[in-house]
A and B are shown apart, each in its own frame.
Chain A
Amino acid sequence: MTFQPSDTTALVSIRGLSFSRNGRMIFDKIDLDIPRGKITAIMGPSGTGKTTLLKLIGGQLRPDSGSVRVDGTDVHRLGLDDLYALRKRMGMLFQSGALLTDLSVYENVAFPLREHTRLPESMIRSLVLMKLEAVGLRGARDLMPAQLSGGMARRVALARAIVLDPMMIMYDEPFTGQDPISMGVLVQLIHDLNHGLGLTSVVVSHDVHETASIADYVYLISGGKVVGQGTPDEVARSDSPWIRQFMEGLPDGPVHFHYPSKDYASDLLGFAAH
């Protein structure tokens, strides 16, 4: 809402980012821009390190090389205090919700306020109830996380992520394992929150249709590289065989159904050869 003239520049810009874990290259010099005020989707098959990318943006992991700039500052050059100050302006929704299991729904949403502010209880109460109302769970405030369904837990986590009014929210696989109704609710919520609160959203997902329906811009990542990008329509119209396979969910194509192995016949006969 209080956007500077620099609105046109990207909120997050990633340049030449490389990251490897246990000797395995996860990102190989990727470049990525996340525009302000838009919903950017990052899609790719499982195991391509989409969650890792979010952790790199949030400063929880350090890249081998390259830079991640969020709102003009290099995340990995910040000291711990500055990094924490930056994180207060970023929300992240974990796949599992990551609600604190020993606190009620109300206390979970109030948690960031209690940790970072010295607001009076009455103000905390109204802020919490406002955010719970926004995700439609004001009535569930006294439940414990264990009593919530997966979709409800994610909505509570969403309320918690926006309670400090961040500038951006990162969603880690928000649709995985949801029934069609709660998936629809979440799609609607991500869309409404982004436009209603003027947030910048990053959605990491492999649920093609739900993500494409709300995303303004899509990046496709595979094998540590950005293999495609554009608006959902552009990506859908792409003639790259890999993108077609991914977007349409074909079982075989450039990504083979079979895990790399030696020739089937010789493998079967291999035992006899011994």
Chain B
Amino acid sequence: MNSVLKPFQILGESALVSLRKLGRANLFMLHVATGFPGILARPRLLAAQMYSVGVLSVLLILISGLFVGMVLGLQGYYVLTDFGAEESLGVMVAASLVRELGPVVTALLFAGRAGSALTAEIGLMKATEQLSGMEMMAVDPVKRIIAPRFFAGLVSMPLLAAVFSLVGVLGGYFVGVGLLGVDEGAFRSQMQAKIDFDEDIVNGVIKSLVFGAIVTWIAVFEGYDSVPTSEGVSRATTRSVVYAAFAVLGWDFVLTALMFGKD
């Protein structure tokens, strides 16, 4: 009997642990949100974090975006020539970048580059009692340390995604028009005719905002909630990247269904 019920007990226990963690994460997020006015009062704190979260990710985003765009150009060309539709290469490259790859790949790269760094930094600050020390100096570490990092991530993600998409389109253009000889005018006019501002660009920006919030939220929460030992911090860093990737892909499906589902 006991051995029959054991798996259910384990399942129930882990479900409760996850629920408790989700609850903590939500309360934590509310706490972070209360730090927003403080950031408006001290934009320098935000600037310092945007440097480490945003500026330091730009090179990675530029290079990745360029290569993703070039690969899209190559692959798209070979598929589209079969239908004699290589003029549509511009649409294909731009639509896949602006709608999907820009926000999603940027969010995944962002989780690996900035998210893991945030988790490790906050986890180390916790392990070395810096957060505790701040509390004892009557400074709320969630408002002073976490909130600027969260909002820096939130603001940086759409900017990075836009850079990624634009560089990707340029990469696709370079391969399609420059190397494979697609007509330049067709590439541009078809792209401009089919890529809709409201439906594609704005939705892409909304996606990247949501992903920015998710990735940064997971990163700062995992750091703040980590076990304050070196092992705990390294586990939290791994979790941060893995959970962020899952959450981004899952939410991408939900958002895509909501945005492009009805037509």
Contacts and interface: CB of A to CB of B under 8 A. Distances in A.
Chains A, B in direct contact (C-beta < 8 Å): yes
B128 A60 contact: no
B128 A115 contact: no
Interface stretch (B74-82, B133-141, B232-240): B133-141
A115 B139 contact: yes
Q: How large is the interface on A (under 10, 10 to 19, 20 to 34, 35 or more residues)?
A: 20 to 34
A87 B141 CA distance: 14
Interface in B129-149: 129-130, 132-140, 144
A170 B136 CA distance: 10
A60 B135 contact: yes
Contacts of A116: 138-139
B138 A99 contact: no
Contact of A94 (B129, B138, B139): B129
Contacts of B130: 98-101
A101 B138 contact: no
B137 A112 contact: yes
Contacts of A88: 137-138
A92 interface: yes
29 contacts: A55-B132, A58-B136, A60-B132, A85-B138, A87-B137, A87-B138, A90-B136, A94-B132, A94-B133, A94-B136, A95-B129, A96-B128, A98-B128, A98-B130, A98-B133, A99-B130, A100-B134, A101-B124, A101-B125, A101-B128, A111-B139, A112-B137, A112-B139, A115-B137, A115-B139, A116-B138, A116-B139, A157-B133, A160-B137
Contacts of A92: 133, 136
Contacts of A84: 138, 140
Among A60, A91, A100, A160, which residue has the most Cβ atoms of chain B within 10 A?
A: A100
A92 B134 CA distance: 10
Contacts of B124: 101
A111 B136 CA distance: 13
A160 B133 CA distance: 11
A-B pairs with the 10 shortest C-beta distances? A98-B133, A87-B138, A84-B138, A98-B129, A92-B136, A94-B129, A88-B138, A115-B139, A112-B137, A98-B130
Contacts of A58: 135-136
A157 B136 CA distance: 12
A99 B136 CA distance: 12
Contacts of A98: 128-130, 132-133
A264 B133 CA distance: 45
Interface in A58-93: 58, 60, 84-85, 87-88, 90-92
Nearest to B124: A101
A101 B125 CA distance: 8
Contacts of B139: 111-112, 115-116
Given A58-B136, A94-B133, A101-B125, 12 more contacts: A60-B132, A90-B136, A98-B130, A98-B133, A99-B130, A100-B125, A112-B137, A112-B139, A115-B137, A115-B138, A115-B144, A116-B139
A87 B137 CA distance: 6
A105 B144 CA distance: 19
Contacts of A87: 135-138
A112 B135 CA distance: 11
A95 B124 CA distance: 15
A160 B138 CA distance: 13
Interface in A86-142: 87-88, 90-92, 94-96, 98-101, 111-112, 115-116
Among B132, B136, B139, which residue has the most Cβ atoms of chain A within 10 A?
A: B136
Contacts of A157: 133
A233 B105 CA distance: 69
A116 B137 CA distance: 9
B133 to A, nearest CB: 3
Contact of A96 (B129, B134, B144): B129
B164 to A, nearest CB: 28
Among B134, B135, B138, B144, which residue has the most Cβ atoms of chain A within 10 A?
A: B138
Among B124, B130, B133, B135, which residue has the most Cβ atoms of chain A within 10 A?
A: B133
Nearest to B144: A115
Contacts of A95: 129
A168 B125 CA distance: 25
Contacts of A90: 136
